[in-house]
């Protein structure tokens, strides 16, 4: 693979990437840009807030970052230290503070492990944490691209065009897996397991994600039917076009494969 700077990028690279997207996809309206703690910087945020761009964002930031508190600066962890002693474990401020060299809204929350989570945005949101949760689907997608499923980092391809083709194929496969998982889950629901939270409550969670459900099914297709590519192609086409509540007849070969998945 090409050098990815240890998994991180510079402000210049982030600006270039967003600018490329905005330039090439002018008809698409960006509601929000989401990013984890490593991405916010004075340069990047200042560029996003310029009049020419005027792009909205919701970023997570590190505990050690300082913000304005009257005429002084203080780390946001100290600024919202009262969360440890409050019944409600979140604060969504309507006031603007100066942070990362710009006037932004800050929200703070404690999770079940009593760990701080800080969100900054150029707009006020009633529940920024719910919006920021959309980023998790992106995070899991990249995890599945890498070691969790497709293992893209093991490739020895370094040519740009070949890498582009590989990513395109992987993106199609990812969409297939998600759609397969969605359809099969409506036919044979994913098994759930009980997890005990730190607060003593019990929560039921699925043993597999929708993607993983489809991923194992697709893998099963090729492990068992690769000798007959026409059958694989036809059955993939059929299942991808089944209505969500459609029940597959038990005599169909596809039914037997689905039963093997779990």
Give per-residue pLDDT as tens, 76-118. Answer: 999 888 888 877 778 888 889 999 999 999 999 988 778 899 9
| pLDDT for 1 beyond 50 | no
Given this model, what pLDDT does residue 262 score? Answer: 37
Q: Are residues 146 and 78 in the same domain?
A: no
Can you give the pLDDT at residue 261?
43
Question: Please, which pLDDT band fits residue 130 given cuts at 50, 70 and 90?
Answer: very high
Q: What is the mean pLDDT of residues 192-205?
A: 75
236: containing domain: 137-261
- If asked whether residues 75 and 161 sit together in one domain, one would say no
Could you say which of 82, 104, 132 is where a domain stops?
132
User: What is the secondary structure of the chain as a DSSP string?
Assistant: ----GGG---HHHHHHHHHHHHHH-TTS----EEE-TTS--HHHHHHHTSTTT---EEEEE-TT-EEEETTEEEEHHHHTGGGGG-SS-EEEEEEEEEETTEEEEEEEEE-TTS-EEEEEESS--S-HHHHHTHHHHHHHHHHHHTTTTT-GGG-----HHHHHHHHHHHHHHHHHHHHHHHHHHHHSPPPEEEEE-TTS-EEEEESS-HHHHHHHHHHHHHHHHTT-HHHHHHHHHHHHTS-TTPPPPTTSHHHHHHHHH-
208 pLDDT band, cuts 50/70/90, is confident
Using the 3D structure, point to which of 132, 149, 169 is the last residue of a domain. 132
For residue 243, name the pLDDT band (cuts at 50, 70, 90).
Answer: low
Same domain, 75 and 150: no
Does residue 160 share a domain with residue 128? Answer: no
- If asked whether residues 95 and 63 sit together in one domain, one would say yes
Please say which residue of 110, 132, 154 terminates a domain. 132
- Do 184 and 127 fall into the same domain? no
Number of domains composing the chain: 2
Q: Which pLDDT value is given to residue 164? A: 85
Residues 122 and 11 occupy one common structural domain = yes
Per-residue confidence (pLDDT) for residue 258, from 0 to 100: 47
Q: Is the pLDDT of residue 68 over 80?
A: yes
Q: 147 CB contacts (<8 Å, ≥6 apart)?
A: 153
Same domain, 126 and 152: no
158 and 68 inside one domain:
no
**111 lies in the same domain as 220:** no
3-state secondary structure 219-241: HHHHHHHCCCHHHHHHHHHHHHC
Quick check: 53 and 22 in contact, CB under 8 A? yes
- 37 and 86 in a single domain? The answer is yes
Same domain? 227 vs 142: yes
The per-residue pLDDT for 19 is: 93
Q: Which of 116, 129, 119, 127 is nearest to 97 (CA)?
A: 119
């Amino acid at each position: 693979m090409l050098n990815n700077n240890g998994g991180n990028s510079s402000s210049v690279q982030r600006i270039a990437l967003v600018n490329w997207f905005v330039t090439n996809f002018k008809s698409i309206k960006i509601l929000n840009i989401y990013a984890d703690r490593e991405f916010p910087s004075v340069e990047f945020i200042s560029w996003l807030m310029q009049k020419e761009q005027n792009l909205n964002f919701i970023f997570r930031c590190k505990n050690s970052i300082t913000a304005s508190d009257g005429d002084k600066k203080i780390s946001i962890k100290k600024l919202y230290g009262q969360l440890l002693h409050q019944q409600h474990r979140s604060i969504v401020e309507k006031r603007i503070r100066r942070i990362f060299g710009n006037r932004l809204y800050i929200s703070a929350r404690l999770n079940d492990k009593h760990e701080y989570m800080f969100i900054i945005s150029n707009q006020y949101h009633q529940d920024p944490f719910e919006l920021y949760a959309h980023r998790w689907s992106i995070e899991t997608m990249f995890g599945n691209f890498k070691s969790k499923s497709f293992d893209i980092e093991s490739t020895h391809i370094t040519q740009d065009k070949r890498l582009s083709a590989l990513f395109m194929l992987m993106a199609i496969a990812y969409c297939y897996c998600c759609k397969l998982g969605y359809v099969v889950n409506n036919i044979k629901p994913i098994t759930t397991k009980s997890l005990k939270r730190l607060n003593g409550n019990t929560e039921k969670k699925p043993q597999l994600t929708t993607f993983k459900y489809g991923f194992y099914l697709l893998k099963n297709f090729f492990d068992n039917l690769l000798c007959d590519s026409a059958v694989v192609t036809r059955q993939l086409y059929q299942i991808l076009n089944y209505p969500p509540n459609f029940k597959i007849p038990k005599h169909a070969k596809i039914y037997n494969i689905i039963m093997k998945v779990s």
